[in-house]
Amino acid sequence: MVESHRPAGLILLAPAKLNLTLEVLGKRQDGYHEVRSVLQTIDLWDSLSMEDTHQGIDFHCSLPHLENRDNLVFRAVENMQASQAGRGVSIRLHKGIPEASGLGGGSSDAAAALIGLARLWETNLGMGDLARLAAQLSADAPFFLSEGTALAEGLGERITPVPSLPPHWAVVLMPHVQAPHPKTARLYASLSPEHYTSGEHTTRLVAALKGGVRSDLLDLLFNVFEGVAFKVYPGLAESWQRFERAGAPRVHLAGSGPALFTLTQNRETAAAISENLKGDGLEVYLARTRN
C-alpha cells in the first residue's frame, strides 16, 4: 500500500494482485471451498483520496455505477464506523484496475480504506484488528493489508508472508468477453472433485521461493479455474490464443478471471508483448511485481 499525505487527508494507492497458484482442496460442510494460493501484488493501481469529516459517508467513484452501498469501500467505512461512533469521511475512488477482472481491485480498495481510516481517525486498531475487519468484507482483503508475496489458506483469508518472488514484469490482458453474474460462484459451481488438488502446486512454489530457486519458478504457476474458464467465459480461448501469438511464453488466468497474464524477467520482452497486443486493439496493462 502506497500512501501520501496532504493537508486535509490521505491519498492511498491500492495494488492489483496475481494468483501465482490457486488450488481448491475441496468443498466444506458450510458450502464454501477450501483453497490454497500464492498471491503477488503488482504495480497496477486504484487510488483513494480520503478526508476526515464530521459525520456521514461521502463516497464517489470514477465509475458511477460503483457508487453504491454494496461497494466494498463503502462497507469498509461502515464496519470501521461501528467502533468509531460519530466519525465521517469523504472518499474519492479512482479505478485504474479493470473491473471484475480477477485482479482483486475491490478487495484491495477495501483494505486501503481500512488502513486509511485507521490513520485518518487515529484509532488504536492494530493489524490484527484490521485483518478481522477485512475478512468480513472479502476473502482477499486481508492479503492487501501488506504487499509482496504471501500464502493464502482457508477461504483465502489466512495469510502467511513468504519470500518475495524475484522481480518480474507482468503483461495483463483484459479480454472483452461475456461474464456470468456472480462469476466466481459460477466458476466454483463448474468444478468437480477431479479438479481438486491437495495443495501440492502451492507447496512446490513456496518451497522454491524459500529455497531461492529462480530458474523454474514460472513452470510452477497453476490455476484450477483454467480447467473450466473456457466454458464460463465464451470467447476466452480466442483471447488466450491472441496472447500467445503476441509472444507470451506462458499464459495464465488471473484469479477468477477473465483477465489473463504472463510473466517475464525481461522488461523489453514484456514491452514487446504489450505493444503487440495493443496493436491488435486489445486492453492491456504492463506492470511490475512488488516486493
pLDDT (tens digit per residue) in 126-172: 999 999 999 999 999 999 999 899 999 999 999 999 999 999 999 99
Reported as a pLDDT band with limits 50, 70 and 90, residue 175 is very high
C-alpha cell at 174: 483484459
The confidence score (pLDDT) of residue 5 equals 54
Reported as a pLDDT band with limits 50, 70 and 90, residue 278 is very high
> What residue ranges do the domains of the chain occupy?
2-161, 169-288
The confidence score (pLDDT) of residue 272 equals 98
Average pLDDT over residues 28-36: 92
Q: Is the pLDDT of residue 4 over 60?
A: no
From 17, 27, 43, 210, the catalytic residue: 17
Active site residue 219: no
For the chain, list the strands marked E by DSSP.
2-6, 9-27, 33-53, 57-61, 88-94, 149-154, 158-161, 169-174, 222-223, 252-253, 260-264, 283-288
Write down the architecture of domain 2-161 according to CATH: 2-Layer Sandwich (3.30)
- Look at residue 185 and give its three-state secondary structure: helix
Question: Which tens digit of pLDDT belongs to each residue from 213-249?
Answer: 776 788 999 999 999 999 999 999 999 999 999 999 9
From the list 176, 171, 170, the residue with the least C-alpha distance to 236 is 176
Q: Is the pLDDT of residue 2 over 80?
A: no
State the Cα–Cα distance between residues 31 and 24, nearest whole angstrom: 13
The confidence score (pLDDT) of residue 29 equals 87
Q: Is the pLDDT of residue 54 over 80?
A: no
State the Cα–Cα distance between residues 220 and 208, nearest whole angstrom: 9
- What is the average pLDDT score of the chain? 94
- Look at residue 63 and give its three-state secondary structure: coil
Reported as a pLDDT band with limits 50, 70 and 90, residue 3 is low
Average pLDDT over residues 249-277: 97
C-alpha cell at 127: 493489524
Active site residue 27: no
- The answer to which of 79-93, 147-161, 266-280 has the lowest mean pLDDT is 79-93
Range 127-133, long-range pairs (CB < 8 A, 24+ positions): 131/159, 133/76, 133/79, 133/80
- The answer to which of 68-77, 186-195, 204-213 has the lowest mean pLDDT is 204-213
Residue 213: phi, psi to the nearest 5?
Answer: -70, 130
Reported as a pLDDT band with limits 50, 70 and 90, residue 291 is confident
Taking a C-beta distance cutoff of 8 angstroms, is the pair 273, 246 a contact? yes
Average pLDDT over residues 22-51: 96
Contacts of 131 (CB under 8 A, 6+ apart): 142, 145, 159
Reported as a pLDDT band with limits 50, 70 and 90, residue 255 is very high
The CATH code of domain 169-288 reads 3.30.70.890
Q: Is the pLDDT of residue 7 over 70?
A: no
Give the amino acid at 166.
Answer: P
Question: How buried is residue 274: exposed, middle or buried, by Cβ count under 10 Å (0-12/13-18/19+)?
Answer: buried
Average pLDDT over residues 276-283: 96
pTM of the model: 0.94
From 43, 95, 140, 210, the catalytic residue: 140
